Amino acid sequence: MTRAYNFCAGPAALPTDVLQQAQQEMADWHDKGLSIMEMSHRSKEFVAVAEQAEQDLRELMQVPDNYKVLFMQGGASSQFSMVPMNLLRGQAKADYILTGQWSKKAIAEAKRYCDVHLAASTDFASAPTQAELELSADAAYVHYCPNETIGGVRFDYIPETGAVPLVADYSSAILSEPLDVSRFGMIYAGAQKNIGPAGLCVVIVRDDLLGQALPGTPAMFDYQTAANNGSMYNTPPTYSWYLAGLVFQWLKAQGGVEAIGEVNRRKAAKLYAFIDGNDFYANPVALANRSIMNVPFTLADDSLDAAFLQQSEQAGLLNLAGHRSVGGMRASIYNAVPEAAVDALIDFMGDFARRHG
Q: How far apart are CA 127 and CA 120, in angstroms?
A: 9
Give the nearest distance from C-beta 90 to ligand PMP in angstroms.
27
Find out whether 235 is annotated in a ligand binding site: yes
Nearer to ligand PMP, 172 or 274 (CB): 172
Please indicate whether residue 351 is annotated as part of the active site.
no
Please indicate whether residue 123 is annotated as part of the active site.
no
Please indicate whether residue 102 is annotated as part of the active site.
yes
Find out whether 192 is annotated in a ligand binding site: yes
Nearer to ligand PMP, 7 or 102 (CB): 102
> Which residues contribute to the site for ligand PMP (CB under 6 A)?
10, 75-77, 102, 145, 149, 169, 171-172, 190
Find out whether 42 is annotated in a ligand binding site: yes
Give a three-class secondary structure readout of the chain.
CCCCEECCCCCCCCCHHHHHHHHHHCCCHHHCCCCHHHCCCCCHHHHHHHHHHHHHHHHHHCCCCCEEEEEECCHHHHHHHHHHHHHCCCCCEEEEEECCHHHHHHHHHHCCCCEEEEEEECCCCCCCCHHHCCCCCCCCCEEECCEECCCCEECCCCCCCCCCCEEEECCCCCCCCCCCHHHCCEEEEECCCCCCCCCCEEEEEEHHHCCCCCCCCCHHHCHHHHHHCCCCCCCCCHHHHHHHHHHHHHHHHCCHHHHHHHHHHHHHHHHHHHHHCCCCEECCCCHHHECCCEEEEEECCHHHHHHHHHHHHHCCEECCECCCCCCCEEEECCCCCCHHHHHHHHHHHHHHHHHHC
> Which member of 68, 95, 102, 250 is catalytic?
102
Nearer to ligand PMP, 198 or 315 (CB): 198
Residue facing ligand PMP at closest CB distance: 75
> Which member of 56, 169, 222, 241 is catalytic?
169
Find out whether 238 is annotated in a ligand binding site: no
Find out whether 102 is annotated in a ligand binding site: yes
Give the nearest distance from C-beta 169 to ligand PMP in angstroms.
5
Nearer to ligand PMP, 41 or 323 (CB): 323
Give the nearest distance from C-beta 206 to ligand PMP in angstroms.
20
Find out whether 325 is annotated in a ligand binding site: no
Find out whether 6 is annotated in a ligand binding site: no
Whether 41 contacts 211, CB under 8 Å: no
> Which member of 29, 68, 95, 193 is catalytic?
193
Give the nearest distance from C-beta 100 to ligand PMP in angstroms.
8
Nearer to ligand PMP, 43 or 73 (CB): 73
Give the nearest distance from C-beta 201 to ligand PMP in angstroms.
6
Q: Please enumerate, by residue number, every residue annotated as part of a binding site for L-glutamate.
A: 42
Active site residues: 102, 169, 193
Question: What are the binding residues?
Answer: 42, 76-77, 102, 149, 169, 192, 234-235
Annotated binding site for pyridoxal 5'-phosphate: 76-77, 102, 149, 169, 192, 234-235
